[in-house]
Chains A and B, each alone.
Chain A
Amino acid sequence: MRSWRSNRLLFFAVCMTLCSGLILVSAAGALAPVEGLVATPLNFIAGIFNDISQTVNSAAVEFSEIQRLRERNAELEEALAQFQAELVELRETSSDYQLLTSLLDYTTTAENQEFVTADVINFDQSGVLRTLVINRGTRDGISRGMPVVTNLGLVGRILEVSANASRVLLITDSSSFVSARLQTSREEGSVRGELTGNLRMIDIPLDAVVQEGDLVLTSGLGGNFPSDIVIGQVQSIRQFEFELAQEAEVRSLVNFDTLEFVLVITSFQPVDISVFETEEEGAP
């Protein structure tokens, strides 16, 4: 039994073959039930460490911020007096806005959306992939592809689901693409994640007017996300004469590193439009 293992080369070859087999079977998804089962205690332990580190971290941050907050408080009190004067003016604007909103409601139909709140229990530890794990799974009605948001905007979509946990692919992951629209000019494009954690809106038509501060929303094209969820704000624009489209750097309002709670939109089912693509290709 030990003799074949004493031959290093043979032992190495056996180990590597075993590894390759494991990777291929896992990548094909055949190990998913076993992985889900084994990952449950691992995720539980990681969750405990995560809670401890976040508690320590937040205590340290709070301590260092007390002095800064005192100064900030004085500044804010001064600003408050100024803002109270502006409040009167804004109330006038607000009444105009409500009137316009009721007119807009007349022409558009609002979608009723259902949410499931989830705790973030783990972040992906490899630097190249940007995913996180939440403590809700199939038992809570979560399924693959459901959009994940916070009150500040789009976070990502469900990538894998087990009974009591799900993995969320963040929009900042370099393999993530979201069909997007600029709120002001209504021009379409795609927002893709980058390895640095930033977002970039690509494929914006050359003649489109893009301005810094423009809001970027989901367009709903492709059926992966509902429309009009905030993705972020345009931070800078890149345009060259020799390129067919322009690009914009987008800053998400969500801080993905400190996420504690997220909302999963359970009433939205992603649409698989690949069927139509196949029919179009096959058509004469």
Chain B
Amino acid sequence: MGNFLSLPILVIAAALQASLGKQILLLGGAPDLVFLLILSWSINAELEESVLWAFVGGICLDLLSAAPTGASIPGILIVIFGVSGLGQQVYRIGLIFLIGLVLVGSLVQQLIFAIIMATLGYPTLTLETVTYVILPTVLYNLLLVLPVYWFVRRIQRRLSRRKIRLS
């Protein structure tokens, strides 16, 4: 069920990000809603489901930007494989764990996107990119992670309750 939900949730999130992100720019950075949704989903989901979310979300983001399709996906994939590895070591998801995850994950995702774009010939790998775009985006992500995680957990709990009832 989580697989089917990825499409409407991520399409709406990408569209929101593309239209509202411009209105609330902090320097050159805007909240990465799609990344936050995928990260929050992957914390309590199976790896295969998270990978599907990463592909759907990444493609939606790239279709709404000038970046080539797929450029946003490697960064997200690295983060969710990391989260999946960590998930096996951690019993309970705490606030500090979540914030740390978003901080490191956002930095990794943004930097890998910048590296991919630089490899393709765009002038994105500069100190200015880090200070003007990446750091404000990370700050926004830190501010938004709690409501996004709460929203995702509500959906996941409803789905698991329904699963139990059906079984």
Q: What residues make up the interface of A, taking CB atoms closer than 8 Å to B?
A: 5, 8, 11-12, 15-16, 19-20, 22-23, 26-27, 31, 35, 38-39, 42-43, 45-50, 53, 57, 122-129, 131, 159-160, 167, 169, 174-175, 195-197, 257
* Inter-chain contacts of A175 with B (CB < 8 A): 122-123
Minimum Cβ distance to chain A for residue B152 (Å): 20
Q: Given B14, B63, B126, which contacts A35 in the complex, CB threshold below 8 Å? A: B63
Are A16's CB and B85's CB within 8 A? Answer: no
**B30-74 CB contact bits vs A (8 Å, 1 = yes)?**
100000000000000001100100000001111111111111011
- Which stretch (B15-23, B96-104, B141-149, B154-162) binds chain A? B15-23
Would you give 15 A-B contacts (Cβ < 8 Å), ordered by A? A38-B63, A42-B11, A42-B15, A46-B15, A122-B19, A123-B19, A125-B17, A125-B18, A126-B113, A127-B28, A127-B29, A127-B136, A128-B122, A129-B122, A196-B28
Closest to B12 in A: A45
Are A167's CB and B77's CB within 8 A? Answer: no
* Inter-chain contacts of A15 with B (CB < 8 A): 51, 77
Are B124's CB and A128's CB within 8 A? Answer: yes
Q: Given A31, A43, A53, A174, which contacts B64 in the complex, CB threshold below 8 Å? A: A43
Are B19's CB and A23's CB within 8 A? Answer: no
Query: Which secondary structure characterizes the binding site on chain B?
Result: helix
Query: Which secondary structure characterizes the binding site on chain A?
Result: helix
Closest to B126 in A: A195
Q: Given B61, B68, B132, which contacts A195 in the complex, CB threshold below 8 Å? A: B132
Minimum Cβ distance to chain B for residue A47 (Å): 8
- Interface Cβ pair total, 8 Å cutoff: 136
* Inter-chain contacts of B133 with A (CB < 8 A): 127-128, 195
* Inter-chain contacts of A197 with B (CB < 8 A): 28
* Inter-chain contacts of A27 with B (CB < 8 A): 68, 120
| A11 to B52 alpha-carbon distance, docked (Å) | 12
Judge whether B83 is part of the interface by a CB distance below 8 angstroms. no
Are B18's CB and A46's CB within 8 A? Answer: yes
Q: Given B23, B25, B123, which contacts A57 in the complex, CB threshold below 8 Å? A: B23
Judge whether B106 is part of the interface by a CB distance below 8 angstroms. no
* Inter-chain contacts of B129 with A (CB < 8 A): 128, 195
* Inter-chain contacts of A159 with B (CB < 8 A): 66
| A246 to B25 alpha-carbon distance, docked (Å) | 32
| A169 to B12 alpha-carbon distance, docked (Å) | 25
| A129 to B18 alpha-carbon distance, docked (Å) | 13
Judge whether B139 is part of the interface by a CB distance below 8 angstroms. no
